[in-house]
Structure 1
Amino acid sequence: MIADDIEGYLAQHQDKTLLRFITCGSVDDGKSTLIGRLLYDSKMVFEDQLAALEADSRRVGTQGQELDFALLVDGLSAEREQGITIDVAYRFFATQRRKFIVADTPGHEQYTRNMVTGASTADCAVILIDARKGVLKQTRRHSYLVHLLGIRNIVLAVNKMDLVDYTEDRFDEIVADYGKFAADIGIADFTAIPISGFRGDNITAAPSDNTPWYRGASLIEHLEEVQVSAAEAAERPFRMPMQWVNRPNLDFRGFSGLIASGSIAPGDTVRIVPSGKTSTVKSIATFDGDLDSAQAGQSVTLVLDDEVDCSRGDVIAAADDPPESSDQFEATIVWMGEEALKPGRGYWLKIGTQTVTASVQEPKYEIDVNTLDHLAAKTLQLNAIGVAELRTEQPITFEAYEDSKALGGFILIDKVTNATVGAGMLHFSLRRAQNVHWQPTTITREEHAGMKNQQPRVLWFTGLSGSGKSTIANAVEQRLNLMNRHTFLLDGDNVRHGLNRDLGFTEADRIENIRRVGEVAKLMTDAGLIVLTAFISPFRAERRMVREMIADAEFIEIFVDTPLEVAEQRDVKGLYRKAREGNLKNFTGIDSPYEPPEEPEIRVNTVEMSVEEAADAIIAAILPLK
């Protein structure tokens, strides 16, 4: 019987369109209460939930027979105890005309990143305002983020009208105040509705007798008419980010993915981006059989006439209107990491089905969402929003975020923790990226190495200041020279006299210092050299970044393992003493961290062995050299 009921319910709703929307605004504006009311009025509350709601409402002190609808949504115990929303809560409900998924997003500024998560997939935003308080700081912040994330369907729900006696003048005052701010941030249009989430005024289809001066649609009537993004996406050129090659047997080969925009039919000509190869669609396969056509929002497998090279991360697009590819961009970034942005550090960037290494440059500015001022910034802290240049390790296929969320929105992932630390929107590619191309050369890196009769390598010496890196690296190079090997030693102090003379010793400058040295070392390996580098290089992320620049098996990390107290006793340059006295800031081991290698290829302990013994041990470990 239950199975029949579920099957009937699904059949009843399967052909309805789906609208995703969020509720946002300041703390205690009534977001959770509104959603609870929507669930209750749409008969989406089961009997056991209703009984629990009645009990919880009595426990928290709701007067009389009134129900506290917020308790239907605030599921976390911390939320119930504090009376606020912390996480994003997703709820489903349906009316006779449409299905809905609503995200109840936190109002506290410290949970802005959670609000961005909820807004990233929404087609509509319901911004609540407490009629008693009017437009607040967080109202402006959320409105800016909603507009930034490309949500163009905005409802201004002036809530708690019952607490201001349903006064039309108060409603008009709030709408006028919000309208001025909305115009400043580029919100061209919004729909204002006076409501009471607690009493149910103007939420369901029936107009409220308490607001005879309001003649517009109720909230649910308006939401039933909002155009969903899938309909807009269907009008754009065809785009399908490739997820995987479908090859169940030798007789079938197709390319599977979710259509991000446009439509496709057998016989249409498509282009594989970034390779530029073209082909014709032979058929559109699905689990239920072949289709005559497919459009945005459908997951399909395209079978092409030709055996083209196409893999995950590529984009199958309309042949006459393909997207761009580039490796340098301007982007707006919302920083979500507890640890601040490290300009120049390599992060994983995921956009569509593409994953590449990317680095964010020092922000051009941070945005004060309350005043819209552009503030000078060296980095971005938690919940900060800024505009910066972005560089990817290889070209990616993209479109501006305002044209395509699928190919314009991205996330940044910390390579060490795998935590999502940022979300962003691409604006455009930088012109200089379009003007710079790889120039083919005749002599290959293999031929350069062959002429020198050696395999290129990077011997990366890392350790504390005073550990003996430079001394040991110099001894190793002398031995390699006696073996007729072609080498070059890059020393930390020496490169700061020229190549990196413009850099200081802040964390950001240290990252850029290592990035530049890594690029130089890569060029030298392309020339066939064995490169020795002696740098503190205190951060694992940057050492990993250089390793990823170098060809497989050519990067050898050598940890010169010297305890801090031993290195400080040596203090040949007097740097530790200056750091202890406070005259030298950001010194590794004192007021700046050193992250020792976890699995270096070679480890030498300078307490237990001499310079000569360490050099001999390194030479023995890297043999044979060809």
Structure 2
Amino acid sequence: MSDLLRLATAGSVDDGKSTLVGRLLYDTKSVLADTLDAVHRASADRGLATPDLSLLVDGLRSEREQGITIDVAYRYFATPKRSFVLADTPGHVQYTRNTVTGASTAQLGVLLVDARKGVVEQTRRHAAVLALLGVPRLVLAVNKIDLVGFDQPTFARIAKEFTAHATALGYAEDAVVEIPVSALAGDNVVERSDRTPWYTGPTLLEHLETVPVEPDPHDAPFRFPVQYVIRPRTPEHPDYRGYAGLVAAGTVRVGDEVAVLPNGLRSTVTGIDTADGPLDEAAAGQSVTLLLEHDLDISRGDLIAAAAVPPTVTDELDATVCWLSEKPLAPGARVLVKHGTRTVQAMVTELRTRFDEQRLASTDAPASLALNEIGQVAVRTAEPIPVDDYTRNRRTGSFLVIDAADGSTLAAGLVGAPLPVLDGIDNDAADGHALVSPGP
């Protein structure tokens, strides 16, 4: 039975992300015949001699008209060796929030660069976001290698620069793989290209099929945000009280002792119900209804967790945020924090550092955080909430910062998640690239 790999693509505008995803789907025969026919027709209407494979991914009308990716497009495909869930994320700076969304559950990130342009500002920004979100492995796809004549020195220069930046962000060298590809022509995507005889590594698909997969949230302590309390009060079920939701992490079994947070009460799981009947156990990703031994005061927003390994209940969060609003964040801002199924009022009491993802340096006590800037902050919530450190549990260590006035998302927040910092970063004014020199 094949296992599952969750991956996300990212890169700058016009680097060919959607074409690469379309090529993967096309060459692995993961496209339905009627969908492929529609792509052929749309491509012919544009006067193209070959199908525009990006149309397999860019599904919104505005995306097709502008030739860009706006929303996160999820695609599912499989080979005999592995199944894949792929999130194609936007390249435009103003859609960085969607990149955060697509990468939040990824086990591997595929970053594209145009071989003619090399590593650019958005490449470094996306690498920093992936590192911050804890995506454990990266692939650098040096796309459009055909447009530089399949030149090995060009590929080597780009690969060296990116690897230096990624290792400075905390990645081990063996966690970063560089592959020369042409998404348009298919070189080294699924089939090995004879036009890059100097490249002896895997094709992109070969790497995706064999890269080690990090442990999934089944291995984390059990966490279950309560979405809804079910009390039918019918003659058949006069005393039924169930707690419905999605298992966010870990596994729960009938007979397990659990804690209900933030109040800290304890009970034992007596049943696990689903639409298809009762279960003896449930794991991360399953929607279930839990039955408990004791009649406790539990409501939406509470968290049912493993009693032996509970999260921390606190109203003081030390967190890293990626600011996603055009309105800058300043100390004293009053916001809403959405954690799991609970939303509480909060205040950002302090901006501790701002991280420069281009030069890998930090500024202490910044006056504000602007759009797409990353920083460490202190947040005080009006009510205690149960949280885990993001590095230990991504599901219950993350939260959203929301504008109380209009409900818009202001930031993605990670509890703990220390920022990477490296000394020895110089800026090359000639080409605008941040060059990483070895630390002391």
TM-score, structure 1 length as denominator? 0.61
Structure 2 CA distance for partners of 1:307 and 1:198, relative to 1, 3 Å: same
Report if the CA contact (8 A) 1:362-1:378 is conserved: no
Instruction: In structure 2, give the amino acid aligned to 1:380.
Output: L
Partner in structure 2 of residue 208 of structure 1: 193
Displacement of 1:371 in angstroms is 0.9
Alpha-carbon distance in 2 for matches of 1:356, 1:293: 31
Displacement of 1:59 in angstroms is 5.0
Structure 2 CA distance for partners of 1:267 and 1:45, relative to 1, 3 Å: closer
Report if the CA contact (8 A) 1:331-1:390 is conserved: yes
Say which SS state the counterpart of residue 291 (structure 1) adopts: coil
Displacement of 1:390 in angstroms is 0.6
Alpha-carbon distance in 2 for matches of 1:32, 1:234: 31
Report if the CA contact (8 A) 1:240-1:261 is conserved: yes
- Does 1:108 pair with 2:97? no
Structure 2 CA distance for partners of 1:133 and 1:308, relative to 1, 3 Å: same
Report if the CA contact (8 A) 1:351-1:406 is conserved: no
Alpha-carbon distance in 2 for matches of 1:298, 1:228: 20
| Alignment counterpart, residue 250 of structure 1, candidates 217, 227, 238 | 238
State, as a whole percentage, how many aligned pairs show the same letter: 50
- Does 1:73 pair with 2:57? yes
Displacement of 1:171 in angstroms is 2.6
Q: Which structure dedicates a bigger proportion of its chain to helix?
A: 1
Note the aligned Cα RMSD (angstroms).
2.5
Partner in structure 2 of residue 172 of structure 1: 156
Say which SS state the counterpart of residue 416 (structure 2) adopts: strand
Displacement of 1:183 in angstroms is 1.2
Partner in structure 2 of residue 265 of structure 1: 253
Alpha-carbon distance in 1 for matches of 2:388, 2:303: 11
Structure 2 CA distance for partners of 1:227 and 1:277, relative to 1, 3 Å: farther
Report if the CA contact (8 A) 1:38-1:203 is conserved: yes
| Alignment counterpart, residue 95 of structure 1, candidates 73, 79, 88 | 79
- Does 1:303 pair with 2:291? yes
Say which SS state the counterpart of residue 146 (structure 2) adopts: helix
Show CA shifts across 1:65-97 (max 9, x none): 433222333344544444333333333333334
Alpha-carbon distance in 1 for matches of 2:295, 2:62: 56
- Does 1:219 pair with 2:201? no
Instruction: In structure 1, give the amino acid aligned to 2:307.
Output: A
Alpha-carbon distance in 2 for matches of 1:428, 1:83: 35
Partner in structure 1 of residue 109 of structure 2: 125
| Alignment counterpart, residue 272 of structure 2, candidates 267, 284, 300 | 284
The 5-angstrom pairing of residues 535-546 of structure 1 reads none
Alpha-carbon distance in 1 for matches of 2:417, 2:346: 16
Partner in structure 1 of residue 395 of structure 2: 406
Alpha-carbon distance in 1 for matches of 2:162, 2:117: 12
Alpha-carbon distance in 2 for matches of 1:88, 1:259: 23
Alpha-carbon distance in 2 for matches of 1:170, 1:44: 32
Q: Is the radius of gyration larger for structure 1 or structure 2?
A: 1
Aligned residues: 411
Instruction: In structure 2, give the amino acid aligned to 1:218.
Output: T
Say which SS state the counterpart of residue 280 (structure 1) adopts: strand
| Higher relative contact order, chain-length normalized (CA < 8 Å, sep 6+) | 2
Instruction: In structure 1, give the amino acid aligned to 2:377.
Output: A
Stretches of structure 1 lacking an aligned partner (at least 5 in a row): 1-14, 430-626
Structure 2 CA distance for partners of 1:226 and 1:234, relative to 1, 3 Å: farther
Structure 2 CA distance for partners of 1:80 and 1:317, relative to 1, 3 Å: closer
Displacement of 1:319 in angstroms is 1.6
Instruction: In structure 2, give the amino acid aligned to 1:183.
Output: T
Instruction: In structure 1, give the amino acid aligned to 2:371.
Output: L
Displacement of 1:175 in angstroms is 1.8
Stretches of structure 2 lacking an aligned partner (at least 5 in a row): 419-440
Show CA shifts across 1:195-222 (max 9, x none): 2111112222x43323334343322233
The 5-angstrom pairing of residues 440-451 of structure 1 reads none
Say which SS state the counterpart of residue 206 (structure 2) adopts: helix
The 5-angstrom pairing of residues 146-157 of structure 1 reads 146-157=130-141
Report if the CA contact (8 A) 1:363-1:377 is conserved: yes
